[in-house]
Amino acid sequence: MSTAAVSVVKAYMAMPWGQLHYRTVPSDPALPLLIMLHQSPLSSRNYESLLPLLSEHCRPVALDTPGYGGSSAVPEQWEVADYAKVVWDIADTMGADRVLVFGRATGAVFALEAALTQPQRVLGLVLHGLPVYTDAERADRMRSFAPPFPAAADGAHLLGIWNRIKGEYPWIDPELATHFTHDFLSAGSDFARSYRAIWRYDLPQRVLDDPSLAMLLLGGGADRIGYMHPRAVALLPRAQALWLDGATDFVAEQQPALFANCLTAFIESCLTGDLGSGRGNARTS
C-alpha cells in the first residue's frame, strides 16, 4: 500500500484511570507494535505526518500522555513509573508480548523507564532528545520553570502561553504555534505535571548499570535540548547514537521522511539482530 493512501486513525482505549487517546495507521497485524510517547505538554499530533511512513515496517501507536492531548486527566502526583506503566497497559491491551518503544523528551524518560521495568519485552528502544538533568538543574526547574497559566477573564493566559511558545521556539511559524497552544490548553492550567515527575526522577541513578537493550539515541543540531545529547551518550554508552544536523525538536513533523528513515533502519536492525554495525556515533544531514 502506498503511504499516500494510508490515513491516520484516532481512537480511545479504556484504562483504569480514564480514557487514553491515540493515533495509529492501518498496518499488517504481523508487524511489531511500536508505542510512541510525545514530549510534554504536547500530543501525538506531532506524529501525524510520520505515522503513514512507518506503516510498512511496524504497527505504530502514538499515544497522548495521560493528562495531555485527548487523554483523561490523572492524579497530580503520578511518578515516572506510573506514566511508564501505560506502555505495558497498551501492549497488554493490544496483545503484544514484545514491542518497540519510542519516546521524545519527557516521553523519552517514560519510555526508558518502561524498558527498564520489563526489558525482556523490548525489541528496541528509541530515545529522541533524552533529557539528562543534573541535580542542580532538576531543583531549579522544579522551582521556577513551568508555572501554571490559570484562566484569566481577559484572556491574558492565552497570550502568556503564546509568548512562552514563541520564547522557547523563536523560529516557530503561526500555524505550528497555534497547534502547540491548543495542546497547552488541553493540558489544563497546570501543564507541568509530567515535567515534575521527571524532575523528581534520578535518571543517572536509575540507569547506573547501563542496560544492554537495543537502543538508539537521537539528537538534533537545532533541538532546544540538543546540548543534552552528549550527556545521554555518556550515560548509555552501549546505545547507538545518531546526530541529525540542523534538526529541531520537531523533526518528526518538519522532516518526516528523514525521521522515518532513521526509525525504520533501526527497527529493521532490531528485527534482524544486526545491531553491531550501528553501535557508536553517527551523523546525518
Dist. CA 254–CA 111, nearest whole Å? 23
Split at pLDDT 50, 70, 90, the class of 212 is confident
What is the reported pLDDT for 6? Answer: 80
Looking at the fold, whether 187 and 215 belong to one and the same domain comes out as no
- 210 or 261: whose pLDDT is higher? 261
What is the reported pLDDT for 273? Answer: 86
Of 131-140, 144-153, 222-231, least confident by mean pLDDT is: 144-153
How many domains in the chain?
A: 2
Looking at the fold, whether 186 and 216 belong to one and the same domain comes out as no
Q: How many CA atoms lie within 13 A of 61 on its CB side?
A: 27
pTM, to two decimals: 0.94
Split at pLDDT 50, 70, 90, the class of 167 is very high
Looking at the fold, whether 187 and 166 belong to one and the same domain comes out as yes
Question: 81 is in which domain, residue-wise?
Answer: 3-133+196-284
In a domain, 138, yes or no: no
Mean pLDDT of 59-65: 98
Residue 34 pLDDT exceeds 90: yes
What is the reported pLDDT for 75? Answer: 83
What is the reported pLDDT for 252? Answer: 97
Looking at the fold, whether 46 and 118 belong to one and the same domain comes out as yes
What is the reported pLDDT for 278? Answer: 43
* Average pLDDT along the chain: 93
